[in-house]
Amino acid sequence: MPTTRWTFDPVHSQIGFAVRHMMVSKTRGKFTKWDGTLDFDAARPENTTVAVEIDATSIDTNEPQRDAHLRSPDFFDVEKFPTLTFKSTKIERAGDGFRVAGDLTIHGVTKPVVLDADFGGTVTDPYGNTRAGFSAKTAIDRKDYGLVWNMVLEAGGIAVADKIEISLEIEAVQAKQQSAAA
């Protein structure tokens, strides 16, 4: 199967994150506006490329005041840095899954990351479209991206951990092939 273009289905996909809050629990959130390209080759994953652009203003932790703080200069500073991006640089098989290396840009800082990814397979939907599922996860240190705001708690510890767990559940639709004119 040659490399084919796939479009992301945001209704059936999610880019989420989790961070330890006050050292005792995890707060979860997601980004609701994002897009990108996937040129996928199941037979030769090293030929696959992925690029994603996330609207930083679309952060949603289910708490409007916290979301406003995350958009502020204390964190994402969305006025200066309206997007987060990921662009793959290398994809290789790793056991039953894949390792997707790439450049992640947050808050104007670009760092290499590696995502552990799984391919869920393909299926034909009731409308004749070919769909594929992908899951991926990684963890980053938010301080590496200049997200350094924190608060020391009176009882000890800090308000926000440095480690951010990132998870993706992606459903993509294969682009329809254009037939050549006769």
CB 79 within 8 A of CB 56: no
- Does the structure show a pLDDT above 90 at 2? no
Residue 181 covered by a domain: no
DSSP state of 86: E
Residue 164 covered by a domain: yes
pTM of the model: 0.87
Confidence of residue 66 (pLDDT cuts 50, 70, 90): confident
Residue 17 covered by a domain: yes
Residue 38 covered by a domain: yes
Confidence of residue 156 (pLDDT cuts 50, 70, 90): low
The CATH number of whichever domain residue 95 belongs to comes to: 2.40.128.110
How far apart CA 122 and CA 17 sit, in angstroms, is: 26
Counted domains in the chain: 1
CB 70 within 8 A of CB 62: no
Q: Which domain holds residue 131?
A: 4-174
Confidence of residue 155 (pLDDT cuts 50, 70, 90): low
Residue 179 covered by a domain: no
Neighbours of 106 (CB within 10 A): 23
Confidence of residue 154 (pLDDT cuts 50, 70, 90): low
Confidence of residue 159 (pLDDT cuts 50, 70, 90): low
